[in-house]
Chains A and B, each alone.
Chain A
Amino acid sequence: MESNAGATETRSNVTVSDGGEVAAFESLQFTDEIHRLISAPATDNASSFTALLELPATQVVELLHSPESVKLIVASAPNVEDFKGSFHFPSNTGLIQKDARFSVFSGEGNNKNDKSNSPEMTSKNSSANLEKAVKSEPAETASSLPLVSDPTVENRNIKRKDREKKVKGSTKKSKPATNESLEDAEKLPYVHVRARRGQATDSHSLAERARREKINARMKLLQELVPGCNKISGTALVLDEIINHVQSLQRQVEFLSMSLAAVNPRIDFNLDSSFTSESGSTMDGGNFPSLVTPLMWPDVQVNGYRQQFQHQWHFDTLKQPIWGREEVCNNYVTPENSLLSYDSSANSAATLHANQLKMEL
């Protein structure tokens, strides 16, 4: 059988080393095998692995190119006896640090009836790792769609997960597990249910899991936004960092508004008009007359304001001159162009009119 041939190949590959250097070599072998597997129709129960590969074929192939998953595929090949020796493989990879998430395709890979328990466990472990690789892939490729199980498949997967849950033993070690629970699970065409070991596998926890992944994705985005968060590991610390950042930003806003409030208002008035003149000058390519003429105008206005402040406190009357000034502002190209493209020319303009002010006073 194809899978046997593949198994022999893999066996030879396995014996080479368990290092990453084998990965490329193995991947070559495996892609051929996998292509063969993929092309073969999923006739027999045993080749549920191929059935697995049918649908998300390209993605699985892509996954299989990653070194960890290659090792996993090694372990997950259906031949039993060969892999008893390669048991420690998954533990060597160090990928099984977390406690498993099983993906369904682990169940499928195990569906030969004559299998002993150990390869099931290895395949489970491997599938756990593969599942992790799978999980990392969507984050990069953003192709999480094929990995999300259909609702119809999901129900079947749920059942399978329940059965898998009954299979005891730690994921890290390869303990013999019962066959029967995994045997029924073959026919499913695809995989993917990520159920955490020992947790409920109903649809609520699936939704919860999806939510958690969303949250993790957003945490990553936040980490990129907040400087200095990339090195921190652990979501609580990252959140603390984010909180500190938000607090510091808010404090900066307060401080800046305080300094804006404390600025000498007389100069401010002229600077407001200087914004407009600045924008005018920058747009016109620096005409001095346009810079000078608005200067005269706000001085008059300022005096007018003073009188109004002394006599009237009505807001409406105060508004009029303000509107007048704003009209002038709007006539020019919006001031923010000058403000935001603030460069040394603004400095010179400002000093220019501060000097003029002093002369007038």
Chain B
Amino acid sequence: MNNPHHLNPTSLKSRFTTRFLRALTKIRAQKPISSSSPTEIFRRYRRIKVAADKSMAYSVRSRRIWSKAMLWKLRSRSYRRQDPCSGRRSGKTNQAIMKKSSNENTTTRREDGVGFVEEADELRQLVPGGETMNLCNLLDETAHYIKCLTTQVQVMKKIADFYSF
């Protein structure tokens, strides 16, 4: 019964799990228990998904471009929901900044001389914050993003298995 695998408490996995479990309990506590209608489930699904992304992004803090971009996106979304005026304001300024930086970088990204621009663009759309990265950084971020996504999937799978025995 003893736990043979002692996890590094500061690892990405454990950080993510703590946050995500906390968020899950919050979400479950908010909703009435008997709700099983599709709309309720859908709403909860959205919240859980946001919680998963948020906890992952928070676990990585701002060390990575993608996590920063994701946190910004989540925050602006929540601001927009709470207070439309402030959300618009912050959204505008931030979007302006992003657009400017993306314009600056479009020249660099369009012809790297490397020859896979379409795939790079697709990757940029997948990885949060990818529009403002040159190819070199994009590949870096993709690697880290893949690693984090894999951790996320592992933990969520375990939780789901645990719940749905």
Contact = CB atoms under 8 A, between A and B. Distances in A.
Interface of A: 208, 211-212, 214-215, 218-219, 221-222, 225-226, 235-236, 239-240, 242-243, 245-247, 249-250, 252-254, 256-269, 271-272, 275, 281-283, 285-286, 302, 305-306, 309, 315, 318, 321-322, 325-326, 329, 334-342, 345-347, 350-351, 354
Interface in B148-165: 149-150, 152-153, 155-165
A242 to B, nearest CB: 6
Give the interface size bracket for B toward A: 35 or more
Interface stretch (B5-13, B71-79, B94-102): B5-13
A253 B50 CA distance: 11
A249 B153 contact: yes
B162 A215 contact: no
Contact of A286 (B1, B24, B32, B165): B1
Q: Chain B's interface: helix, strand, loop or mixed, by majority?
A: helix
Interface string B26-53: 1011111101100001101101110011
B129 to A, nearest CB: 14
Contacts of A266: 33
Contacts of B18: 334-336
A257 B43 CA distance: 11
Interface of B: 1-7, 9, 13-14, 17-18, 21-22, 24-26, 28-33, 35-36, 41-42, 44-45, 47-49, 52-53, 112-116, 119-120, 122-123, 126-127, 135-136, 139-140, 142-143, 145-147, 149-150, 152-153, 155-165
A218 B143 contact: yes
Given A271-B163, A334-B14, A340-B155, A246 B146 contact: yes
B159 A208 contact: no
Contacts of A218: 136, 139-140, 143
A30 B29 CA distance: 76
